[in-house]
Amino acid sequence: MKTLIKNTSLLVILTILFSINLSASIYNFTDETYIDDIPFNTTEVLSDIITEQNLVAFDFEEESYIDDIPFDTECISIDCLYQKAIMVEFNFEDEGYIDDIEL
């Protein structure tokens, strides 16, 4: 019974709120006429900007090579580093036998 009363009251409240919301709009806007005053041609807009700012076209010369990287950039991948690591030969001294295991 409580559920029926709660559901009914919730439905009544929602119906009242919805009807108030529908009648709350008192503003009716009229459609505005289209004004074609914006230039949509981007080429013309860009040329206007360039002529207004008098932009200079820059011509960069080729830079000379600077050898400031202290390692071989061709060999920085994991495969190359792995190949370098396995090429190293380790020489260990023979250790003397230690009889520390007792039965």
Tell me: pLDDT of 69 over 80: no
Q: Residue 25: which pLDDT band, with cuts at 50, 70 and 90?
A: low
What are the tens digits of pLDDT across the range 27-53? 677 787 877 776 577 788 788 777 777
Q: Is the pTM of this model over 0.85?
A: no
| Contact yes or no for 75/84 (Cβ under 8 A) | yes
Between CA 39 and CA 47 the distance in angstroms is 12
Between CA 82 and CA 101 the distance in angstroms is 38
Range of weakest confidence among 9-18, 19-28, 38-47, 54-63: 19-28
**When comparing pLDDT for 23 and 6, which is higher?**
6
CA–CA distances in Å: residue 41 to residues 51, 53, 54: 16, 19, 20
The letter for the amino acid at 69 is: I
And the tokens for 61? 């010369």
